[in-house]
Protein backbone atom coordinates (compact mmCIF):
# COMPACT_ATOMS: atom_id res chain seq x y z
CA UNK A 1 0.00 0.00 0.00
CA UNK A 2 1.53 3.27 -1.13
CA UNK A 3 0.00 5.29 1.72
CA UNK A 4 2.04 3.31 4.22
CA UNK A 5 5.25 4.51 2.66
CA UNK A 6 4.03 8.04 1.94
CA UNK A 7 6.77 10.58 2.67
CA UNK A 8 5.72 12.75 5.64
CA UNK A 9 6.96 15.78 3.70
CA UNK A 10 4.07 15.31 1.28
CA UNK A 11 1.68 15.69 4.23
CA UNK A 12 3.54 18.85 5.35
CA UNK A 13 3.14 20.21 1.83
CA UNK A 14 -0.61 19.54 1.92
CA UNK A 15 -0.92 21.30 5.29
CA UNK A 16 1.12 24.24 3.98
CA UNK A 17 -1.06 24.59 0.87
CA UNK A 18 -4.31 24.21 2.81
CA UNK A 19 -3.28 26.89 5.32
CA UNK A 20 -1.82 29.28 2.74
CA UNK A 21 -4.89 29.44 0.55
CA UNK A 22 -7.22 31.38 2.93
CA UNK A 23 -4.33 33.61 4.01
CA UNK A 24 -3.41 34.61 0.46
CA UNK A 25 -7.01 35.04 -0.65
CA UNK A 26 -8.04 36.87 2.54
CA UNK A 27 -10.87 34.35 2.76
CA UNK A 28 -12.66 34.09 6.10
CA UNK A 29 -15.51 32.06 7.50
CA UNK A 30 -17.87 33.07 10.30
CA UNK A 31 -16.47 31.87 13.63
CA UNK A 32 -18.44 29.44 15.76
CA UNK A 33 -20.22 30.86 18.77
CA UNK A 34 -18.17 30.43 21.94
CA UNK A 35 -20.33 30.80 25.04
CA UNK A 36 -17.42 31.56 27.36
CA UNK A 37 -16.11 34.26 25.02
CA UNK A 38 -19.64 35.67 24.98
CA UNK A 39 -19.44 35.92 28.77
CA UNK A 40 -16.08 37.71 28.49
CA UNK A 41 -17.60 40.15 25.98
CA UNK A 42 -20.53 40.83 28.33
CA UNK A 43 -18.37 41.56 31.37
CA UNK A 44 -16.25 44.00 29.39
CA UNK A 45 -19.34 45.56 27.86
CA UNK A 46 -20.83 46.02 31.32
CA UNK A 47 -17.67 47.65 32.69
CA UNK A 48 -18.60 51.27 33.14
CA UNK A 49 -16.36 54.19 32.31
CA UNK A 50 -16.29 55.77 35.76
CA UNK A 51 -13.86 58.26 37.25
CA UNK A 52 -11.31 56.56 39.53
CA UNK A 53 -12.05 53.12 38.08
CA UNK A 54 -9.88 51.27 35.60
CA UNK A 55 -9.28 47.87 34.01
CA UNK A 56 -6.10 46.02 34.97
CA UNK A 57 -4.87 43.97 32.02
CA UNK A 58 -1.97 41.57 32.22
CA UNK A 59 -0.27 40.39 29.03
CA UNK A 60 1.63 37.34 30.20
CA UNK A 61 2.58 35.92 26.83
CA UNK A 62 5.56 35.97 24.51
CA UNK A 63 6.18 35.26 20.84
CA UNK A 64 5.59 31.53 21.41
CA UNK A 65 1.86 32.01 22.13
CA UNK A 66 1.35 35.39 20.44
CA UNK A 67 -0.74 33.72 17.71
CA UNK A 68 -3.50 33.00 20.23
CA UNK A 69 -2.97 35.39 23.13
CA UNK A 70 -2.17 38.38 20.91
CA UNK A 71 -5.56 38.59 19.13
CA UNK A 72 -7.32 37.84 22.45
CA UNK A 73 -5.59 40.73 24.19
CA UNK A 74 -6.13 43.04 21.23
CA UNK A 75 -9.90 42.61 21.08
CA UNK A 76 -10.35 43.13 24.82
CA UNK A 77 -8.13 46.22 25.02
CA UNK A 78 -9.84 47.59 21.91
CA UNK A 79 -13.25 47.00 23.48
CA UNK A 80 -12.19 48.81 26.66
CA UNK A 81 -10.64 51.71 24.75
CA UNK A 82 -13.77 52.08 22.63
CA UNK A 83 -15.78 52.32 25.83
CA UNK A 84 -13.27 54.80 27.26
CA UNK A 85 -12.50 52.61 30.25
CA UNK A 86 -8.92 53.47 31.31
CA UNK A 87 -6.64 50.47 30.89
CA UNK A 88 -3.57 49.79 33.02
CA UNK A 89 -1.32 47.31 31.24
CA UNK A 90 1.15 45.12 33.04
CA UNK A 91 3.16 41.94 32.65
CA UNK A 92 4.92 39.36 34.77
CA UNK A 93 6.46 37.78 31.69
CA UNK A 94 9.43 39.67 30.32
CA UNK A 95 8.91 38.67 26.68
CA UNK A 96 5.49 40.35 26.72
CA UNK A 97 7.04 43.77 27.25
CA UNK A 98 7.11 44.79 23.53
CA UNK A 99 3.42 43.89 23.19
CA UNK A 100 2.50 46.26 26.03
CA UNK A 101 3.79 49.05 23.82
CA UNK A 102 2.74 47.90 20.35
CA UNK A 103 -0.82 46.62 20.93
CA UNK A 104 -2.36 49.81 22.42
CA UNK A 105 -0.61 51.94 19.79
CA UNK A 106 -2.00 49.72 17.03
CA UNK A 107 -5.51 50.00 18.53
CA UNK A 108 -5.17 53.77 18.97
CA UNK A 109 -4.21 54.15 15.28
CA UNK A 110 -7.15 51.98 14.16
CA UNK A 111 -9.67 53.80 16.36
CA UNK A 112 -8.48 57.26 15.34
CA UNK A 113 -8.66 56.25 11.67
CA UNK A 114 -12.17 54.91 12.20
CA UNK A 115 -13.38 57.92 14.20
CA UNK A 116 -11.69 61.07 12.89
CA UNK A 117 -11.66 63.85 15.47
CA UNK A 118 -11.46 61.50 18.46
CA UNK A 119 -8.17 60.94 20.26
CA UNK A 120 -6.88 58.21 22.54
CA UNK A 121 -4.10 59.51 24.73
CA UNK A 122 -1.40 57.71 26.71
CA UNK A 123 -1.76 58.48 30.42
CA UNK A 124 -5.48 59.03 30.13
CA UNK A 125 -6.81 56.09 28.13
CA UNK A 126 -4.04 53.64 28.93
CA UNK A 127 -0.95 53.39 31.11
CA UNK A 128 1.82 50.87 30.63
CA UNK A 129 3.37 49.61 33.87
CA UNK A 130 5.78 47.41 31.94
CA UNK A 131 7.40 44.21 33.14
CA UNK A 132 7.57 43.60 36.90
CA UNK A 133 9.22 40.55 38.41
CA UNK A 134 7.99 38.94 41.59
CA UNK A 135 5.28 36.58 40.37
CA UNK A 136 2.93 35.53 43.19
CA UNK A 137 4.70 37.79 45.72
CA UNK A 138 3.94 40.90 43.67
CA UNK A 139 0.38 39.82 42.84
CA UNK A 140 -0.21 39.27 46.54
CA UNK A 141 0.99 42.77 47.35
CA UNK A 142 -1.53 44.43 44.98
CA UNK A 143 -4.64 43.73 47.11
CA UNK A 144 -2.71 44.74 50.25
CA UNK A 145 -1.57 48.06 48.80
CA UNK A 146 -3.22 51.22 50.09
CA UNK A 147 -1.88 53.16 47.12
CA UNK A 148 -0.99 51.36 43.89
CA UNK A 149 1.01 54.40 42.71
CA UNK A 150 3.39 53.84 45.65
CA UNK A 151 3.58 50.10 44.97
CA UNK A 152 4.45 50.44 41.28
CA UNK A 153 6.21 53.82 41.49
CA UNK A 154 6.78 54.56 37.83
CA UNK A 155 5.37 53.43 34.49
CA UNK A 156 7.34 51.60 31.78
CA UNK A 157 8.89 54.90 30.65
CA UNK A 158 10.01 55.90 34.18
CA UNK A 159 7.26 58.50 34.57
CA UNK A 160 6.02 58.63 38.18
CA UNK A 161 2.47 57.25 38.28
CA UNK A 162 1.36 60.15 40.49
CA UNK A 163 1.86 62.46 37.52
CA UNK A 164 -1.07 60.78 35.73
CA UNK A 165 -4.59 62.04 36.51
CA UNK A 166 -5.74 58.46 37.17
CA UNK A 167 -3.26 58.03 40.02
CA UNK A 168 -3.38 61.55 41.52
CA UNK A 169 -5.59 60.20 44.32
CA UNK A 170 -4.64 56.90 46.01
CA UNK A 171 -5.93 53.84 44.19
CA UNK A 172 -6.40 50.35 45.60
CA UNK A 173 -7.70 47.00 44.39
CA UNK A 174 -11.25 48.36 44.79
CA UNK A 175 -10.61 50.84 41.98
CA UNK A 176 -9.99 47.95 39.59
CA UNK A 177 -13.32 47.19 37.96
CA UNK A 178 -12.05 44.46 35.65
CA UNK A 179 -9.07 42.12 35.62
CA UNK A 180 -8.05 40.64 32.29
CA UNK A 181 -5.20 38.19 31.96
CA UNK A 182 -3.85 36.55 28.81
CA UNK A 183 -1.37 33.71 29.02
CA UNK A 184 -0.42 30.19 28.08
CA UNK A 185 1.41 29.82 31.37
CA UNK A 186 -0.84 28.17 33.93
CA UNK A 187 1.39 29.16 36.87
CA UNK A 188 1.00 32.87 36.26
CA UNK A 189 -2.75 32.53 35.82
CA UNK A 190 -2.97 30.65 39.13
CA UNK A 191 -1.31 33.58 40.94
CA UNK A 192 -4.18 35.85 39.94
CA UNK A 193 -6.83 33.30 40.93
CA UNK A 194 -5.16 32.83 44.28
CA UNK A 195 -4.14 36.31 45.33
CA UNK A 196 -5.89 39.02 43.32
CA UNK A 197 -8.65 39.59 45.86
CA UNK A 198 -9.42 40.74 49.39
CA UNK A 199 -11.93 39.25 51.78
CA UNK A 200 -14.56 41.80 50.70
CA UNK A 201 -13.66 42.60 47.08
CA UNK A 202 -12.72 40.72 43.96
CA UNK A 203 -12.70 42.38 40.54
CA UNK A 204 -14.56 40.74 37.68
CA UNK A 205 -12.05 38.38 36.08
CA UNK A 206 -11.73 37.48 32.40
CA UNK A 207 -9.01 35.18 31.11
CA UNK A 208 -7.60 34.42 27.67
CA UNK A 209 -5.90 31.03 27.48
CA UNK A 210 -4.16 29.10 24.74
CA UNK A 211 -5.94 26.10 23.25
CA UNK A 212 -3.70 23.73 25.22
CA UNK A 213 -4.96 25.02 28.56
CA UNK A 214 -8.68 25.23 27.68
CA UNK A 215 -9.66 22.05 29.57
CA UNK A 216 -7.98 23.39 32.72
CA UNK A 217 -9.45 26.87 32.36
CA UNK A 218 -13.02 25.53 32.19
CA UNK A 219 -12.67 24.36 35.81
CA UNK A 220 -12.29 27.97 36.96
CA UNK A 221 -15.25 29.07 34.87
CA UNK A 222 -17.40 26.33 36.38
CA UNK A 223 -16.38 27.27 39.93
CA UNK A 224 -17.14 30.95 39.36
CA UNK A 225 -13.52 32.01 39.85
CA UNK A 226 -13.61 33.28 36.27
CA UNK A 227 -16.46 35.29 34.83
CA UNK A 228 -15.32 35.14 31.20
CA UNK A 229 -12.96 33.07 29.08
CA UNK A 230 -11.52 33.30 25.59
CA UNK A 231 -10.64 29.79 24.48
CA UNK A 232 -7.65 30.07 22.19
CA UNK A 233 -7.98 31.74 18.81
CA UNK A 234 -11.57 30.50 18.45
CA UNK A 235 -12.58 32.60 21.48
CA UNK A 236 -10.77 35.65 20.10
CA UNK A 237 -12.47 35.20 16.71
CA UNK A 238 -15.93 35.06 18.27
CA UNK A 239 -15.15 38.09 20.45
CA UNK A 240 -13.96 39.92 17.33
CA UNK A 241 -17.22 39.10 15.57
CA UNK A 242 -19.22 40.47 18.51
CA UNK A 243 -17.17 43.67 18.35
CA UNK A 244 -17.77 44.00 14.60
CA UNK A 245 -21.51 43.48 15.15
CA UNK A 246 -21.52 46.23 17.77
CA UNK A 247 -19.25 48.59 15.82
CA UNK A 248 -19.96 48.03 12.09
CA UNK A 249 -17.29 50.48 10.92
CA UNK A 250 -14.62 48.41 12.58
CA UNK A 251 -12.02 46.87 10.30
CA UNK A 252 -11.65 43.06 10.48
CA UNK A 253 -8.70 41.85 12.53
CA UNK A 254 -6.34 38.94 12.53
CA UNK A 255 -8.35 36.70 14.85
CA UNK A 256 -10.95 35.67 12.25
CA UNK A 257 -8.31 35.11 9.57
CA UNK A 258 -6.21 32.83 11.79
CA UNK A 259 -9.35 31.04 12.96
CA UNK A 260 -10.32 30.36 9.33
CA UNK A 261 -6.90 28.87 8.61
CA UNK A 262 -7.21 26.77 11.74
CA UNK A 263 -10.63 25.46 10.69
CA UNK A 264 -9.29 24.41 7.29
CA UNK A 265 -6.28 22.74 8.91
CA UNK A 266 -8.63 20.80 11.18
CA UNK A 267 -10.67 19.61 8.19
CA UNK A 268 -7.48 18.46 6.51
CA UNK A 269 -6.34 16.62 9.65
CA UNK A 270 -9.72 14.90 10.03
CA UNK A 271 -9.55 13.88 6.36
CA UNK A 272 -6.03 12.48 6.82
CA UNK A 273 -7.01 10.61 10.00
CA UNK A 274 -10.00 9.01 8.21
CA UNK A 275 -7.86 8.22 5.16
CA UNK A 276 -5.15 6.71 7.34
CA UNK A 277 -7.66 4.51 9.17
CA UNK A 278 -9.38 3.33 5.99
CA UNK A 279 -6.11 2.45 4.27
CA UNK A 280 -4.94 0.78 7.48
CA UNK A 281 -8.09 -1.35 7.62
CA UNK A 282 -7.83 -2.29 3.95
CA UNK A 283 -4.20 -3.18 4.37
CA UNK A 284 -4.99 -5.33 7.42
CA UNK A 285 -7.85 -7.12 5.66
CA UNK A 286 -5.45 -8.01 2.84
CA UNK A 287 -3.05 -9.34 5.43
CA UNK A 288 -0.56 -6.51 4.91
Partner 1 sequence: MNTDFALWTVIMAGVATLAIFSFLIKENPFYRFFEHIFIGISAGLISVQGIRYFLWPQILVPMLGLDIVTYPDGTASKPYEPLLLLYIVPLLFGLLYYFIYSQRYAWLAKLVIGFSLGASAGLAFKGFFAEMLPQLASSFKPLVVMEDAQINYLQSVSNIIFIFTLLAVMYYFFFSIKADSAVEKKFSASGRWLMMVCFGSFFGSTVMARLALLVERLQFILIDWINAIKTVLIA
Per CB under 8 A, residues contacting partner 1 are: 9, 12, 15-16, 19-20, 23-24, 64-68, 70, 94-95, 97, 130-133, 136-137, 140, 153-154, 156, 158, 184, 190-191, 193-195, 197, 210-215, 219-220, 222-225, 232-234, 254, 257-258, 261-262, 265-266, 269
What sign results for the dihedral spanned by CA atoms 216, 238, 32, 15? Answer: negative
Element (H, E) at 232: helix 232-246
CB of residue 206 vs partner 1: minimum separation in angstroms?
A: 17
Closest CA to 96 of 53, 131, 48: 131
Q: SS3 for 131?
A: strand
In contact, 210 and 184? CB cutoff 8 Å = yes
Element (H, E) at 88: strand 87-91
CB of residue 85 vs partner 1: minimum separation in angstroms?
A: 26
CB of residue 174 vs partner 1: minimum separation in angstroms?
A: 18
CB nearer to partner 1: pick between 68 and 78 = 68
Could you report how far apart the first and last alpha carbons of the chain are, in Å?
8
CB of residue 287 vs partner 1: minimum separation in angstroms?
A: 30
CB nearer to partner 1: pick between 115 and 269 = 269
In contact, 56 and 179? CB cutoff 8 Å = yes
Angle (CA) 265 5 279, round 5°: 65
DSSP E strand stretches across 172-245: 176-183, 204-209, 228-231
CB of residue 115 vs partner 1: minimum separation in angstroms?
A: 26
In contact, 142 and 19? CB cutoff 8 Å = no
DSSP E strand stretches across 99-257: 126-131, 176-183, 204-209, 228-231
Rounded Cα gap, residues 98 and 200, in angstroms: 35
CB of residue 191 vs partner 1: minimum separation in angstroms?
A: 7
CB nearer to partner 1: pick between 70 and 86 = 70
CB of residue 126 vs partner 1: minimum separation in angstroms?
A: 18
Amino acid sequence: MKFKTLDRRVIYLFVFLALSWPLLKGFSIKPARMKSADKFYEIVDQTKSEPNKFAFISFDFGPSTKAENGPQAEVVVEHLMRRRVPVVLFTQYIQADPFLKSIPLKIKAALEAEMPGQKWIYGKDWINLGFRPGSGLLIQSIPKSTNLADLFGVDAFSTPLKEFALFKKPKTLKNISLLGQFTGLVGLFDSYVQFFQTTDYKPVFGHGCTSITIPEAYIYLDSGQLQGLQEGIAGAAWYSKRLTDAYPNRKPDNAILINTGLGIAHLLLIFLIILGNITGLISRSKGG
